[in-house]
A and B are shown apart, each in its own frame.
Chain A
Amino acid sequence: MSAVLVPIVRIQRQDFDVAAEIAALTQSRADIGAVVTFSGLCRDEQGALSALELEHYPGMAEAEIGRIATEATERWPLQGLTVIHRHGKIAPGANIVLVVAASAHRQAAFEAANFLMDYLKSRAPFWKKEHRTDGSEGGWVEAKETDAEAAQRWKRPPSE
């Protein structure tokens, strides 16, 4: 691997602009052949949900996503990597999370983005609480077994 890539990691309350984040990675360079973005949005669950409230662990959220992003840069030949995760109250249809992975070729960009999302789901210290349209307290979203399994598939075989 050539120059060490330092991923961009931001934990923020405000929204993000997907096109601007792609441009920030690709502008004034010509060695990137593939950009994969993943955006996670808040669903309304068939009209039942008025908002999701995302609690996070300040400090650790940045540190843990930074560790996961750094691992991605070590596993795939990336030219750019941005991860943004919002916190606070988020309305249905609004953005929650963004991953932008840039590489010379598409496979590394697809795989790195996929890896990051699987790991974020089960290791980034965020918790979602539902607010329901009928005014009742929806409670905390439960972690899915399938998300933990999705992260497991990226485990590397033990080195010799």
Chain B
Amino acid sequence: MTTRLIYFAWVRERIGMPEEDVELPAGIETVADLLRWLQSRGEGYQHALQYPDVIRVAINQEHVDHREKISGAREIALFPPMTGG
């Protein structure tokens, strides 16, 4: 299944694109697994995700924590802590 990954703010800048569609390999079950897998995809990803604890994640436009299962996610967004308001 194809999953759309969306990046914002400095996560987007460091990875070098606003979004991409990926085929997740078998064994990627949680958000934490996804962050580990993405870090293996190149320098930009490593730079963006070197401190995974600070990365905030939304699945299908709702906040989730890193233990959340990602099966069935159409859209997963990765971004820094928010600074709106």
Contacts and interface: CB of A to CB of B under 8 A. Distances in A.
Interface string B65-85: 000000000000101111111
A87 B81 CA distance: 17
A122 B10 contact: no
A103 B8 CA distance: 36
Contacts of B77: 57, 60, 125
Contact of B85 (A57, A121, A148): A121
A149 interface: no
Given A97-B85, A120-B85, A121-B85, A60 B80 contact: no
A74 to B, nearest CB: 18
B61 A57 contact: yes
A56 B84 contact: yes
Nearest to A38: B85
Main secondary structure of the interface of A (DSSP, over half): mixed
A54 interface: yes
Nearest to B81: A143
A148 to B, nearest CB: 8
B84 A126 contact: yes
Interface in A81-100: 85, 96-97
B85 A117 contact: yes
B85 A125 contact: no
Contacts of B79: 57, 125, 127
15 contacts: A60-B61, A63-B62, A96-B85, A97-B84, A117-B85, A121-B83, A122-B82, A123-B82, A125-B8, A125-B79, A125-B84, A127-B82, A129-B9, A142-B81, A143-B80
8 closest residue pairs by CB, A with B: A126-B84, A143-B81, A127-B9, A60-B61, A121-B85, A120-B85, A124-B84, A141-B83
Interface of A: 40, 54-57, 59-60, 63-64, 85, 96-97, 117, 120-129, 140-143, 147-148
Interface of B: 6, 8-10, 58, 61-63, 77, 79-85
